[in-house]
Amino acid sequence: MKKIKKNPTLSSWIAHLSDEFRLEGRIRTSITYRAALKSFMLFRKNKDIKIKDLDTHIIQQYERFLLEKGLVPNSISFYMRILRAAYNKACDQGYVPYQQLFKRVYTGVSKTTKRAIPLADIRRIKQVKLESYSSLALARDMFMFSFYTRGMSFVDMAFLKTGNLNNGYLIYRRKKTGQLLKIKWEPCMQEIVKRYATTSPYLLPIIHKRNNDLYYEYQNRLAVVNRNLKVVGQRAGLNTPLSMYVARHSWATGAKQVDVPINVISDAMGHESERTTRIYLASLLNSKVDDANKKVLEYLEKKDNNE
């Protein structure tokens, strides 16, 4: 990793932070910092700027630029909050003095359209007829695997290895937070893994090591899977556009639908931000989380058999 100079540019600083996050295993955070930098450099027409030269006027100009590009408030806030975090880290390390550069731009989070679908729609996705081993079938399998594993994120799925399976449990750390999660291995999960079994060290057919940048490959595969999921959703007769993110939201909704307590759902999904709930759940046995997942999966299987 390159050493940061005393008077760094914004691009060198954010690239440095992104590399640090990546080394820490916080892949999602690393990617989002790179995305924010790319957006800001597009606004600047690739003309770099020293961090010390940032001011409220430039930040407001950037906000107007994003508005003119048609971004919604939450998307604008996403970029602003990353820039603010990067700027504050530079202040913490003494590169620039503290200033409130972001007080006149939107950095909040407004309510968005619900991205969860009910268990009845999950069954329709599971049952829709697709050609075996096609790109649509693969996308459906990745969606269902995420749902089966309590809404596992695609980046965590991509980097699962056979070593993550141990004594009937899938054990992994979330790329986003580093939190350790343990999921009881169920037959429906094994069925998907077995379908794509190869000599690859990876559990799922997402990373193939076709280039040196595995994260670039993961991002490309995510885009392809999400594109194919929209077709799968249409084939299943759904009105909601499908994506891998829908699987995560839908597991939580499905668990609630079968009366799993909200605190158990929170623990199952590794919701780090729910601090009060996480303190309460510190002594919760993992078996309760496993039972929660099994309850959701059994509901799904029961409906399949009755239809």
Structure tokens at 303: 């409906």
Given this model, what pLDDT does residue 277 score? 32
Last-in-domain residue among 36, 57, 92: 92
To the nearest 10°, report the CA torsion of 88, 91, 93, 95.
Answer: 130
* Cα distance between residue 76 and residue 70, in whole Å: 10
Amino acid occupying residue 3 = K
Distances (CA, A) of 21 to 13, 82, 145, 177, 178: 13, 13, 27, 10, 11
Stretch 81-109: mean pLDDT, rounded?
92
CB 247 within 8 A of CB 143: yes
* Cα distance between residue 285 and residue 288, in whole Å: 6
* Cα distance between residue 15 and residue 38, in whole Å: 10
What is the strand order of the sheet 169-173 is part of? Answer: 165-166, 169-173, 180-184
Shared domain for 77 and 32, answered yes or no, is: yes
Most confident by average pLDDT, 24-28, 58-62, 221-225? 58-62
Given this model, what pLDDT does residue 279 score? 32
Element housing 223 (H / E): helix 214-235
Shared domain for 131 and 223, answered yes or no, is: yes
In a domain, 5, yes or no: no
In a domain, 266, yes or no: yes
Query: Residue 289 sits in which domain range?
Result: 119-306
Structure tokens at 119: 């268990």
Number of H helices, E strands in the chain: 13, 3
Shared domain for 60 and 153, answered yes or no, is: no
Given this model, what pLDDT does residue 114 score? 56
pLDDT at 285 > cutoff 50: no
Shared domain for 142 and 289, answered yes or no, is: yes
Stretch 25-43: mean pLDDT, rounded?
90
* Cα distance between residue 141 and residue 204, in whole Å: 10
Exposure string of 269-307, with b = 16+ CB inside 10 Å and e = fewer, is bbbeebeeebeebeeeeeeebbebbebbbebbeeeeeee
In a domain, 240, yes or no: yes
Structure tokens at 116: 């969860």
Residue with tokens 């594109």: 227
Element housing 287 (H / E): helix 286-306
- Residue 134 maps to which CATH number? 1.10.443.10
Shared domain for 189 and 224, answered yes or no, is: yes
* Cα distance between residue 28 and residue 21, in whole Å: 9
Confidence at 190, pLDDT banded by 50, 70, 90: very high
Shared domain for 165 and 274, answered yes or no, is: yes
Given this model, what pLDDT does residue 287 score? 55
pLDDT digits (tens, 9 = 90+) for 199-232: 889 999 998 765 556 777 887 889 899 999 999 9
Residue with tokens 């239809």: 307
